[in-house]
Amino acid sequence: MPDAIFAHPRLAPVYDVFDGDRDDLAAYLDIVGELGAERVLDVGCGTGCLAIVLAESGRIVMGADPARASLEVARAKDVRARITWVHGDATALPPFDADLAVMTGNVAQVFLTDEDWAGALQGIHAALRPRGYLVFETRRPEWRAWEKWAAEAGRLAVDIPGVGSVEQRTEVTGVNLPFVSIRGTYTFRADGAVIVSDSTLRFRSRHEVESSLITHGYRVLDVRQAPDRPAREFVFIAQRTT
Ligand SMILES: C[S@@+](CC[C@H](N)C(=O)[O-])C[C@H]1O[C@@H](n2cnc3c(N)ncnc32)[C@H](O)[C@@H]1O
């Protein structure tokens, strides 16, 4: 069950506003070009920010996400209906013969158990063409992002056209490494509705991720920095070995 911030029908439509500028996506577009990918699968596509840009660049795109409310936001952006939207998680991807699968926005950290992560890697493997690529990011545990989040925790109010003023309050609710839990509390000032979204993320080491990729039929071609977040992220470029 995805977190409320992705799955709640009132929170998903305001997700992009609080997520801010997507300076992270340019590097993924560059990698898609570098690897010559024409068929791209966006796993955990959320509100479709990358999928839309990829489709605009002429790629054949499938976006998959288990949060129906986020998919509805994504579909509304896809005014020319160029993208295939799939309601489902990484273990339930339809055949797509993708040249490349991508997970942006630290989707890799939502898979909390080894079984969930293994299932995602296997599901993506099956949706890729032979020798297809998997590109994704995960926050470096060494960066200790949760400490920055705790220090920066606070309130942010934004006026959203058609919705009114919405206040977001964020807090770190638990650190039990490799798991970190965070809470966002959203107050819709127009009617006073308060909706809470709790999330838990898993921070995996570089070694742990590389080992799991190898176990599940990938070779690791490169591990890069995210140019917009230097030293904070691992960006894995992996390829099916078969
Ligand atoms: C932080 S958002 C990132 C969304 C998008 N990739 C982006 O960059 O804007 C994480 C996404 O992972 C999705 N998600 C949660 N569990 C998932 C699963 N088991 N398989 C695939 N996606 C999942 C959520 O619904 C959410 O849309």
pLDDT tens digits for range 119-171:
999 999 999 999 999 999 999 999 999 999 999 878 999 999 999 999 999 99
Residue nearest to atom 16 of ligand 1 (CA): 2
Cα–Cα distances in angstroms (integers) from residue 51 to residues 25, 66, 74, 161, in the given order: 10, 15, 9, 24
pLDDT tens digits for range 7-38:
999 999 999 999 989 999 999 999 999 999 99
Residue pair 236/134 in contact (Cβ under 8 Å)? The answer is: yes
> What is the residue-averaged pLDDT of the chain?
97
Ligand 1 pocket mutation pick from 3, 65, 116, 134 by most atoms within 8 angstroms of CB: 65
Radius of gyration of the chain (CA): 18
**Predicted pLDDT at 154:** 84
Q: Could you tell me if the CB of 43 is within 6 A of ligand 1?
A: yes
Euclidean distance between CA atoms 100 and 98, whole angstroms: 5
**Predicted pLDDT at 52:** 98
Closest-lying ligand 1 atom to the alpha carbon of residue 46: 27
Ligand 1 pocket mutation pick from 107, 139, 199 by most atoms within 8 angstroms of CB: 107
Cis peptide before 178 (omega within 30 of 0): yes
pLDDT tens digits for range 67-89:
999 999 999 999 999 999 999 99
Cα–Cα distances in angstroms (integers) from residue 210 to residues 89, 217, 237, in the given order: 22, 11, 10
Closest-lying ligand 1 atom to the alpha carbon of residue 7: 25
56 Cβ neighbours under 8 A, 6+ residues apart: none
Residue nearest to atom 3 of ligand 1 (CA): 105
Residue nearest to atom 20 of ligand 1 (CA): 89
**Predicted pLDDT at 153:** 78
Residue nearest to atom 23 of ligand 1 (CA): 44
- pLDDT of 1 > 90? The answer is no
Rounded mean pLDDT, 171-177: 97
**Predicted pLDDT at 26:** 96
